[in-house]
A and B are shown apart, each in its own frame.
Chain A
Amino acid sequence: MEVTTVTQWFMACYADDIPENGGACVKYGDEQIAIYNFSRRGEWFATQNLCPHKQQMALSRGMIGSAGDTCEPKVACPFHKKTFSLLTGECLNGDDYTIKTYPVKVEEGRVYIGIE
């Protein structure tokens, strides 16, 4: 999903801070943002770190993967395995949760997160 309202790119961390095909968490003010280095696809994603199911700061420690024929990229919360689309933030288990997603760009080994 292309978000066009980015007003600021926040330099979050270095690309090698985030494990391949996994995630890690960065601090942005009082916010916690999970960044995922989906190296298998050559893509980067970012979402809120909070899993809305039990309000745990844990999504960055979750496993990432894909769902369905369209290979929708997703992350599974380590607590109870609720899965969320990394594209739309929608909960893929049919629950009524949505998480926030952020645009990410990587330039010269630095990871930037787009803030609205």
Chain B
Amino acid sequence: MVGYKFCEKLTAKSSLFNIVVFGEEPRRAYDRVHLSEYFNGKSADDLSMSTESWYRENGITLHLNDLIQEINIAAKTVHSLQGTVLKYDFLVLATGSSAFVPAIPGIEKEGVFVYRTIEDLELIKAYATKAKSGAVMGGGLLGLEAAKALIDLGIQETHVVEFAPRLMPRQIDTTGSAMLQSKLSALGLKIHLNKSTLEIAGEGKIESLKFADESSLGVDMLVISAGIRPRDELAKLAGLKVGSRGGIVVNEKMQTSDPCVFAIGECALYENMIYGLVAPGYEMADVVVGYLTEGSKSFHGFDMSTKLKLIGVDVASFGDAFITEPDCRTIVFEDTHKGIYKRINISLDGKYLLGGILVGEAEAYNLLLQTVNNKIVLPPNPEDLILGSRGGESAGGAGVMNLPDEALICSCEAVSKGDICSAVEGGVTSVDGIKKCTKAGTGCGGCVPMIKDLVNGTMAANGLYVKNSLCEHFDYSRQELLDLIRLNKIKTYDDCLDKFGKGDGCEVCKPAVASILSSLWNDLIVKQDTIQDSNDRYLANIQKGGTYSVVPRIPGGEITPEKLIVIGEVAKKYGLYTKITGGQRIDLFGAHVSDLPAIWEELIAAGFESGHAYGKALRTVKSCVGSTWCRFGLHDSVSFAIEIEDRYKGIRAPHKLKGGVSGCIRECAEAQGKDFGIIATEKGWNLYVCGNGGSKPQHAQLLAADVDKETCTRYLDRFLMFYIKTADPLTRTATWLNKMEGGMSYLKNVIVNDSLGIGAQLDTEMQQLISTYHCEWKEVVDNAELRKRFVHFVNAPQEKDPNVQFEPLRDQVKAKNW
């Protein structure tokens, strides 16, 4: 990896060098950091860092399967296994490291492996097919990676054997190790600590491990991961200086004892330290490239902070993780229930973060590391850093934006915050784009969430959101696109994409265009089912476990006993869980996709229609019982609610729409918490708009007071149509109003005073939508071709998804948890 990175960096900087690469392995450089992914489906090709043509295009000669056997320092030549002798001006050793194999009797037995190269992995994979149990020797980072690999290979019983009294002694402290151990044990990993292995026993092949404490462990295979040893044999043979415990000695320019020979990566020993991570290796490659191209960069050690996911458990250590009191103050958070341990070390004056350890949850890692590296002064309550701020606004992405420009975001590729932000300002506005142009996030990938925040933060700061493009495929806002589609009479998504977009669309623009097409032409949405969100495609709401819920329309919440009985019978027949919704309707959960048309058929036969609970459309108009029964009621709120709900049913909008009608100011229908709310007054009706319940409750505001039913309805027509035509996708009316310049007084002018002169047009457009209403369920039920789409397996239409599972709950069923 480091050798390849050197080539990449050098060819990018200069074309003056004739580069020849020798590699011992049969394949090009590959991503060893993500080696374990080889076991869950990635191929050797996926892991490869480059293509064959890359070397050719950059004029690099590549010798694979050809180990250098000898270096002649005096003659400046290298001699390869296959007999090539080559003269060099500069030689870079990136020989890496090999697995350290302790001299234990029986180590040569069949079934004993190391975990280092793709070849090792292939051997392990082949042997694992006949093994039931396996052990990993070594409870460090690589050992746990190897244990994960064994689990992925389907080994039923996986053990980790560690000589030390705890796991990952280099990265985390005793408490953190204990937490990690209990989490891993809970996941089925068997962990044995304080075990010194004396012998690997078995007839020809491994059968058991014998320990110094006279215990033993029967296993079918063993993977050794007891540390790494720098590959310094070649350097040693050539007379270059090596460390007493291995490693090629280098100076701050990565020069070995011969100034024309460099060593980088895990084979290099800088100030008695081997850097076994990829980021410092890349940094070393950069230093040598700098030297060769007359740069002035030097290597001065490297931050060894890491964050990893080990068998699903987050583990991170950063800065000075092990410093203890009285040299610092520590704040510890421990939750044995959830298996979370967090420790931060802060300076004695409480001003700076020195380092820390995170086990079980490491979301804060990136920000904490930045806080250490940039010496950011801590807030008055530093515990907020690991507990999150309790109460008040959370810092969220703002934390990243507060970093200084020189803060290193991607340490693998040495990309600073400034680099990323200036790329965003230069027009690169996606994480993928940033990855391509700065290479940030392409190494370990740990900084990607921070890149995301920086991209969004920088765009917001520069007002780039003003452009408001729908997505990468359409350079228009929803409103612009709606006008284009209307003026050009576009009827299909494909036509729209061909004329105004690029690429092949996505899950953002497809439903947005689908919504526009419906709002303009009100065609049957299932005609273009694959551009709809799953809910609109199947005319039902997808729920946990992959089943759907069905909500028939019950306008105003009024329903006859006969219809109630039908709902009950349908639910019983199809095994559905039933619940009254917040909008005075009844939701039936747990329907198999293949049962949907039959369920609708029975409901339709009893006079029901689709309730559009799956669509960005009118949901329900809630009502109180009003003057027909209530002793306080001023007008008949139920009748008005039913009228309104029938009027707007089926109309697609940028987001869902809810309404309410109350018979008096007691407001039992909670109309002021809806997108539109109507409240009876002594003289008529008050119309309120742009309210919201949900995550950000907001009261609706008065649009017109004391108007009669007809006027109220006309204003409502215009209001809804204006919203449909101008709001961004997935924007509720409340947010739409909050963003509107001029706010409520502007909206009132448009709707009531017709200040834009579009009132008549809005009226006509709404009338068009109302008159083209059709029940989508009925269309499917009556159409054999459309019905055919409602199956789980197209090659076994009678069969239901066997993965759908229910659990009993209070005399009904619920979906199994995920």
Q: Quick one: CB contact mask for B760-802 with A, threshold 8 Å, 1 for yes?
A: 0000000000000000000000000000010111111001010
Q: B789 is contacted by which of A19, A32, A71 (Cβ under 8 Å)?
A: A19
A94 within 8 A of B: yes
B504 to A66, Cβ gap below 8 A?
A: yes
A24 within 8 A of B: yes
Of B272-280, B286-294, B533-541, B671-679, which stretch is located at the interface?
B533-541
Q: B504 is contacted by which of A54, A61, A65, A99 (Cβ under 8 Å)?
A: A65
B531 within 8 A of A: yes
Q: A79 to chain B: which residues have CB within 8 Å?
A: 542
Return B541 CB to nearest CB of chain A, in Å.
11
CA distance A67 to B448 in the complex (A): 17
CA distance A25 to B594 in the complex (A): 13
Q: Quick one: CB contact mask for A46-58 with B, threshold 8 Å, 1 for yes?
A: 0000000011111
Q: A54 to chain B: which residues have CB within 8 Å?
A: 818
Q: B533 to chain A: which residues have CB within 8 Å?
A: 63, 78
B207 within 8 A of A: no
B252 within 8 A of A: no
B807 within 8 A of A: no
CA distance A18 to B37 in the complex (A): 31
Q: B546 to chain A: which residues have CB within 8 Å?
A: 56-58
CA distance A61 to B803 in the complex (A): 15
Return B416 CB to nearest CB of chain A, in Å.
20
Q: A71 to chain B: which residues have CB within 8 Å?
A: 503-504
B793 to A41, Cβ gap below 8 A?
A: no
Interface of chain B residues 58 through 110 with chain A (CB within 8 A) = none
B449 to A25, Cβ gap below 8 A?
A: no
Q: Quick one: CB contact mask for B426-454 with A, threshold 8 Å, 1 for yes?
A: 00001111000000010001001100100
Interface of chain B residues 540 through 588 with chain A (CB within 8 A) = 542, 544-546
Q: B42 is contacted by which of A38, A55, A68, A98 (Cβ under 8 Å)?
A: A98
Q: A81 to chain B: which residues have CB within 8 Å?
A: 507
B51 within 8 A of A: no
B494 within 8 A of A: yes
Interface of chain A residues 11 through 55 with chain B (CB within 8 A) = 12-13, 17-27, 32, 38, 40-41, 54-55
Q: A63 to chain B: which residues have CB within 8 Å?
A: 506-507, 510-511, 530-531, 533-534
B542 nearest CB neighbor, chain A only:
A78
Return B496 CB to nearest CB of chain A, in Å.
12
Q: B494 is contacted by which of A13, A40, A89 (Cβ under 8 Å)?
A: A40
Return B532 CB to nearest CB of chain A, in Å.
8
Given contact pairs A63-B533, A98-B41, A55 touches B818 in the complex (Cβ within 8 A): yes
B122 within 8 A of A: no
Return A33 CB to nearest CB of chain B, in Å.
10
Given contact pairs A62-B534, A98-B37, A17 touches B794 in the complex (Cβ within 8 A): yes
B801 nearest CB neighbor, chain A only:
A57
B15 within 8 A of A: no
Given contact pairs A56-B546, A61-B538, A27 touches B795 in the complex (Cβ within 8 A): yes
A107 within 8 A of B: no
Return A31 CB to nearest CB of chain B, in Å.
11
CA distance A81 to B506 in the complex (A): 11
B534 to A22, Cβ gap below 8 A?
A: no
A56 nearest CB neighbor, chain B only:
B546
Return A29 CB to nearest CB of chain B, in Å.
11
Q: B542 is contacted by which of A25, A32, A61 (Cβ under 8 Å)?
A: A61
CA distance A63 to B503 in the complex (A): 14
Q: Quick one: CB contact mask for B601-618 with A, threshold 8 Å, 1 for yes?
A: 000000000000000000
Return B226 CB to nearest CB of chain A, in Å.
27
A27 to B796, Cβ gap below 8 A?
A: yes
B339 within 8 A of A: no
A104 within 8 A of B: no
Given contact pairs A63-B510, A89-B41, A100-B41, A19 touches B529 in the complex (Cβ within 8 A): yes
B530 nearest CB neighbor, chain A only:
A22
Interface of chain A residues 89 through 110 with chain B (CB within 8 A) = 89, 92, 94, 96, 98-100
B504 to A88, Cβ gap below 8 A?
A: no
Q: B545 to chain A: which residues have CB within 8 Å?
A: 56
Q: A94 to chain B: which residues have CB within 8 Å?
A: 431, 441, 445, 448-449, 452
A73 to B795, Cβ gap below 8 A?
A: no
Given contact pairs A21-B530, A61-B542, A26 touches B506 in the complex (Cβ within 8 A): no
A81 nearest CB neighbor, chain B only:
B507
CA distance A98 to B504 in the complex (A): 22
A25 to B792, Cβ gap below 8 A?
A: yes
Q: Quick one: CB contact mask for B483-523 with A, threshold 8 Å, 1 for yes?
A: 00000000000100100000111110111000000000000
Q: B506 to chain A: which residues have CB within 8 Å?
A: 63, 65-67, 74, 76, 83
CA distance A100 to B165 in the complex (A): 39
Q: A88 to chain B: which residues have CB within 8 Å?
A: 46
Q: B452 to chain A: which residues have CB within 8 Å?
A: 94
CA distance A21 to B506 in the complex (A): 11
Q: Which of B510, B542, B793 has the most CB of A within 10 A?
A: B793
Q: A83 to chain B: which residues have CB within 8 Å?
A: 506-507
A27 to B40, Cβ gap below 8 A?
A: no
CA distance A26 to B791 in the complex (A): 10
Q: A96 to chain B: which residues have CB within 8 Å?
A: 309, 445
Some 22 contacts from A to B, beta carbons below 8 A apart, are: A19-B529, A26-B794, A26-B795, A26-B796, A27-B796, A32-B801, A57-B801, A58-B534, A58-B542, A61-B538, A63-B534, A65-B504, A65-B506, A65-B509, A65-B510, A66-B504, A67-B432, A78-B542, A83-B507, A94-B431, A94-B441, A98-B40
Other A-B pairs, 18, CB within 8 Å; known A63-B534, A71-B503? A12-B795, A17-B795, A19-B530, A22-B537, A26-B795, A26-B796, A27-B795, A55-B818, A56-B544, A63-B533, A64-B504, A65-B504, A65-B505, A65-B510, A76-B507, A94-B445, A94-B452, A98-B42
> Which chain A residues have a beta carbon within 8 Å of chain B's beta carbons?
1, 12-13, 17-27, 32, 38, 40-41, 54-58, 61-68, 71, 73-74, 76, 78-79, 81, 83, 88-89, 92, 94, 96, 98-100
Return the 8 tightest CB-CB contacts between A and B, nearest first: A22-B530, A78-B534, A65-B506, A76-B507, A66-B504, A17-B794, A94-B448, A63-B507
> Which chain B residues have a beta carbon within 8 Å of chain A's beta carbons?
37, 40-42, 45-46, 309, 430-433, 441, 445, 448-449, 452, 472-473, 494, 497, 503-507, 509-511, 529-531, 533-535, 537-538, 542, 544-546, 789, 791-796, 799, 801, 803, 818
